[in-house]
Amino acid sequence: MGDIGVGAREIIQAWGRILAGSRPNISIEITRECPLRCPGCYAYGDDHLGGGGVTLRGLADYTGDELVTRFMALVDGHNPLHISIVGGEPLVRYRELGQILPQLAERGIHAQLVTSAVRPIPRQWAAIPRLQIVTSIDGLQPEHDARRTPATYERILKHIAGHQITVHCTITRQQVRRDGYLEEFLRTWQANPNTRLIWISLYTPQVGEISEERLRAADRAKVIADLRRLMPQFSKLQLLESVLKVFEKPPESPDQCIFAKTTDCYSSDLERRITPCQFGGNPDCSNCGCLASAGLEAIGRHRLLGVVPVGRIFHASVRVGRAVKQLRGVAVSGGNQERSLPEYD
């Protein structure tokens, strides 16, 4: 499946987990703290954790050895193939991450750390295997700095020195107002020696959201057309035609979203689940621009032997996994289905 950017080994491993009734991916908001106040940030939205006055800023979080112990217990309870560490700003807990990241690597887990690079990224992390440092850079310097101060371009350029980062840009309406903007952004980060990859997501609104960030239908079509044209020119831009097709027609609902069904998301108290996907609240799937979701959906739409869409096998496998897990629960508890891992929705 080289044409969809995923190796057969990863797919088979993930499939095994799904058939056994667990999810291969886990996403954890490691802290509720963040020195930034980005417009359009979903993590601090009122409905991110389901509403009712419960918000990320009001949730408990942990520090020091307690965080390391609880974090690793959560990971070990899930035994994931891949973990995404988000926030808040994860680097607020850089000391704890200095213990957590090597332990994840020892367990063979692929870790992705999503950061604003507001503070220096410890140099020694560059040697940790299977760690990907994803830095959020939302546009060229004037627009980025306006949105993401104090994580300005000046700081990012200093703080990524010695690393090979993945630049992740979420395109909002502010970035589509000028022709050639996207190309200039790609040229800037393609030329940076500390950039390994460039990822582009499109802003994903909540249902009914009216905001400056939200892309109109025409904006979205233009961005996708620009990406299609620019894709062959930038070797660091990790994007595929099959992913662009998903951006054109995203999954219809969380129930149809492979990403939502394969990823358990936890907030900073390491207990509260974020549903239906990492955005929380009531995300507008018809306008989803999440690259991770689009990437998995692109795999789902791939036809095995040109006949059966992988997604059909996936959704059937989820049902099998759910049954396996229920049976296991019955066998272990003698009918009382106490569970250590969360059920599929």
Residue 257 interacting with ligand SF4 (CB under 6 A): yes
Residue 36 interacting with ligand SF4 (CB under 6 A): yes
Q: Bridge partners of 170?
A: 201
Among 14, 117, 274, 285, binds ligand SF4 (CB under 6 A): 285
Give the nearest distance from C-beta 223 to ligand SF4 in angstroms.
16
C-alpha to C-alpha distance for 60 and 114, rounded to whole angstroms: 20
SS (HEC) of 248-280: HCCCCCHHHCHHHHHEEEECCCCCCECCCCCCC
Among 117, 169, 246, 290, binds ligand SF4 (CB under 6 A): 290
HSE (CB half, 13 Å, CA atoms) of 249? 5
Residue 267 interacting with ligand SF4 (CB under 6 A): no
Residue 116 interacting with ligand SF4 (CB under 6 A): yes
Closest CA to 31 of 110, 113, 120: 113
**What letters, b where the CB count within 10 A reaches 16 and e where it falls short, cover 224-261?**
bebbeebbeebebbbbeebbbebbeebbeebeebbbbb
Among 14, 26, 30, 34, binds ligand SF4 (CB under 6 A): 34
C-alpha to C-alpha distance for 215 and 211, rounded to whole angstroms: 9
Residue 165 interacting with ligand SF4 (CB under 6 A): no
Among 21, 205, 251, 311, binds ligand SF4 (CB under 6 A): 251
Among 62, 181, 266, 279, binds ligand SF4 (CB under 6 A): 279
Residue 314 interacting with ligand SF4 (CB under 6 A): no
Q: Which of residues 43-102 bind ligand SF4 (CB under 6 A)?
A: 43-44, 87-89
Please identify, using beta-carbon distances, which residue of 160 and 329 lies nearer to ligand SF4: 160
CA-CA-CA-CA dihedral for 313, 251, 37, 194, to nearest 10: 60
Residue 121 interacting with ligand SF4 (CB under 6 A): no
Give the nearest distance from C-beta 293 to ligand SF4 in angstroms.
4
Question: Residue 294: in which H helix or E strand, if any?
Answer: helix 291-301
| Residue ranges in contact with ligand SF4 by CB under 6 A | 34, 36-38, 41, 43-44, 87-89, 116, 204, 250-251, 254, 257, 259-260, 276-277, 279, 283, 285, 288, 290, 293
